[in-house]
Chain A
C-alpha cells in the first residue's frame, strides 16, 4: 500500500484510517499493530514538525510492504537532511520530571519498538525504512 499526504499534522489521520483496513488482513497481533501506529505517528509528526523551513506544501510518501513474517515501512520526504539513526545514536533521551520538551523521545521510541531502521538520502530526499518482525513469528 502506498500513500501520499501533505505536510500537515491532520493528514496523519488519513494514513491511520487506511492503515486500520490494511492491517486487518495481516497475521499480526494487537501488540504489533500498536507498534506500527506509534512508529507512523512519530515519524510523520517529526517530518511535518521539523522537516521544513518554508511554508510551502510538500508531499510525503509512505509505503507499507507486508510479508508473511513482518512489515516494512518506507517514508520519503523532501525536507531538510535528517538522519534519525545518527540522531538516536548521538542523543540520549532526556526525560526529566519537570521538562516537557524532552526532545527526540519519539525517535528513540521508534528505534526501540522496530526491529530494523535504515536511512539514506536519495535525490535530495530523506528515505527511511522501518522493519518490524511480527512477535507471533518470533516465538
Chain B
C-alpha cells in the first residue's frame, strides 16, 4: 500500500495505491487520521490506483469519517475503478459518501 498526499490550498488529496485489505488498512487509517488531527477538514480520497478494497478498508473510511465529522469536516471520494465502485454500491457507501468521477470535480465540490 502506497499513500501519497497532495496539498492544495483548501483541501488535501489522499491517493491510495495497491490493496486496501485486512493487512494494510491500519496504515491507511493512521495516515488519514493524522491529517484529520492535524486540522484538515476537507479530505478527498482518490481511489483510481486502488487495486481492490475489502471490508477492512471500508471500515477505516467509516471510522475516519466519524472523526472528521466531529470537527465539522468531510471526506469525499473520487475516481473509483469498476471493482471499487461495485464494492461501494454493494455496501451502500455510494449512498452515504459523496463520490466524484475525477479529482477536478471533487476539488471543485469543496469550493
Interface, chain A (partner B; CB < 8 A): 9-10, 12-13, 16, 30-31, 34-35, 37-38, 41-42, 44-45, 49, 93, 95-102, 105-106, 108-109, 112-113
A38-B52, A100-B59, A109-B54 given; A95·B83 CB < 8 A: no
Which A residues touch B23, using CB under 8 A?
9-10, 12-13
Q: For B86, give the chain A residue with the smallest CB separation.
A: A113
Q: B22 and A95: CB pair below 8 A?
A: no
Which A residues touch B96, using CB under 8 A?
95-97
B64-98 Cβ-contact flags toward A at 8 Å (1 or 0)? 01100100000000000011001100111100100
Q: A100 and B66: CB pair below 8 A?
A: yes
Q: B87 and A109: CB pair below 8 A?
A: yes
Q: B21 and A41: CB pair below 8 A?
A: yes
Interface, chain B (partner A; CB < 8 A): 19, 21-23, 51-56, 58-60, 62-63, 65-66, 69, 82-83, 86-87, 90-93, 96
Which A residues touch B59, using CB under 8 A?
100-102, 105
Question: Could you tell me the distance in whole angstroms from the C-beta of A75 to the nearest C-beta in chain B?
Answer: 15
The A-B contact count (CB < 8 A) is: 84
Q: Within the complex, which residue of B21, B58, B87 is in contact with A102, where a contact is CB–CB below 8 Å?
A: B58
Q: Within the complex, which residue of B19, B83, B91 is in contact with A35, where a contact is CB–CB below 8 Å?
A: B83
The CA-CA distance from A105 to B25 in the complex, in Å, is 15
A12-B23, A41-B22, A97-B96 given; A34·B66 CB < 8 A: no
Question: Could you tell me the distance in whole angstroms from the C-beta of B74 to the nearest C-beta in chain A?
Answer: 11
In this complex, the member of A16, A93, A96, A98 whose beta carbon has the largest number of chain B beta carbons within 10 angstroms is A98
A31-B82, A95-B93 given; A37·B58 CB < 8 A: no
Question: Could you tell me the distance in whole angstroms from the C-beta of B47 to the nearest C-beta in chain A?
Answer: 13
